[in-house]
Amino acid sequence: MGVRIRFLKINIFKSTNYSFVALISIVLLLSSSCYKYVSYNNSKSEYCVANIKDIQHTGGAYFSSPKHTPNGNIVAGNHNGNVLFFNSEGDKINSYKTKSWVHATPQSVSDTLISLGSYDGNIYFFNNDGQLRKVIKPGGKIFTNLVEVSKDIVLFGANRKSIIWYDLKNDIKKVFKTRKLNHGSPALLSNGIAVIGSSDKNLYFFDKDFNMIKSYKTGGWIMHSKPIELSSGNIAFGSYDKCLHLINSKGKLINKIKTGGKIHGTPVETSDSLIAFGSFDGNIYFSDLNGKIVNTIKTRKKIVASPLVLPNKNIVFASMDRCLYYCSPNGELLSVTYTGSKIFASPILTQSGNIFLATLDGSVMIVEP
């Protein structure tokens, strides 16, 4: 069981002595008392230590973003090859050992199952509580989540230059060959069209029968930035060409938002109709639906994870600088909290509204917003 850490005013980033910062962090984690810390160098920037309710050290870095099972549990995979299940409040309830790294993000399929691919070439299917129900070996290492295009039919990418359509009921597969491996996260649009990005720089569109009906070319790899439909009807996604692309439903370019770094995560649309996303340049971006930037917030390290929308409509970004950045729906920075761990995987919410983080140091933590 972890310890509760109250909010403390602390100037983390203005110190040039990072060993001192690490020492302070350890002291805070070992105590539940409230300490006052006076910032130095006459800095006006103040940061808070996150209100961590619990930390569990599970081993193995988390590159796989956690997801909810259909009954509200939480599942995540790590680079020790483990698939771990937690209850709705983040307590570990089960685990399963695969034969290699788990990098893909879990995804619910067929109403009652949760799927997750591994570098061992298998896709594993579990029930809500982590009991294994099915294993398929479609060919190649699996980097991506699955998307269910119709009942018992899923689509996903693999490293053998292939996008795969798979009939889970009859164990039938179809393969579409690309020019490079496929690390992109597929999505199902409201019109039933499945879209998935590839390392060959294309975003591919497939109909329900797995016919490739169109493609859109970017200038870089498309990794885990899942295409999202905006309220305008357009589609937004990021690429390693350092741009967020806005295209229409026909795959035609509307606008490109140029940043200073690669874009790995999935954007979100805020309740104020802004697009929010992070970049490897360390910036948080807010733009209108036409692609005009309205605000930029600087962090200290690159942002890999996708942003999370909280129940109060605020948005939280996890940065590799070990901090969470809380922003309003109109793009204003509200607060910054320090977690002590680098965060690659995207955060999610527990049922009680706390933030569940899976980190690169192999721990999971529950943070009160």
Domain membership flag for residue 242: yes
The predicted pLDDT at position 1 comes to 30
d(Cα 222, Cα 196) in Å, to the nearest integer?
A: 9
> Per-residue pLDDT for 300 more than 70?
yes
Helical segments of the chain, H only? 18-29
The predicted pLDDT at position 27 comes to 39
Owning domain of residue 119: 57-318+330-337+359-364
Give 128-157 pLDDT, tens digit per residue.
Answer: 999 999 999 999 999 999 999 999 999 999
The conformation of residue 323, written as its DSSP 8-state character, comes to E
CB 192, CB 208: distance < 8 Å? yes
The predicted pLDDT at position 5 comes to 28
The predicted pLDDT at position 112 comes to 87
Domain membership flag for residue 250: yes
Domain membership flag for residue 352: no
Q: Residue range 283-308: average pLDDT?
A: 97
Domain membership flag for residue 27: no
Give 317-336 pLDDT, tens digit per residue.
Answer: 999 999 999 999 999 999 99
DSSP secondary structure letters along 8-25: -EE--TT-S-HHHHHHHH
The predicted pLDDT at position 46 comes to 56
> Per-residue pLDDT for 181 more than 70?
yes
Q: Residue range 233-248: average pLDDT?
A: 98
- Name the domain count of the chain: 1
Domain membership flag for residue 264: yes
Domain membership flag for residue 5: no
CB 168, CB 149: distance < 8 Å? no
- The end-to-end CA distance of the chain, in Å, is 19
The CATH code of the domain that includes 114 is 2.130.10.10
- The angle subtended at Cα 179 by Cα 178 and Cα 183, nearest 5°, is 70
Bridge partners for 109 per DSSP: 113
Cβ neighbour number for residue 328 with a 10 Å cutoff? 18
If DSSP codes are grouped into helix, strand and coil, which group holds residue 221? coil
In angstroms, how far apart are the furthest CA atoms of the chain? 67
Domain membership flag for residue 173: yes
Give 28-40 pLDDT, tens digit per residue.
Answer: 443 333 222 223 2
Q: Which amino acid is at 234?
A: N
The predicted pLDDT at position 212 comes to 98
Q: How confident is the model at residue 47 (pLDDT cuts 50, 70, 90)?
A: low
Q: Residue range 288-317: average pLDDT?
A: 97
If DSSP codes are grouped into helix, strand and coil, which group holds residue 253? strand
**Two tokens, residue 250:** 């026909």
This prediction's pTM: 0.87
CA-to-CA dists, residue 299 to 7, 62, 97, 278, angstroms: 20, 21, 36, 10
- Extended beta strands in 273-344, E state: 274-278, 283-288, 293-298, 308-309, 315-318, 323-327, 333-338
Domain membership flag for residue 119: yes
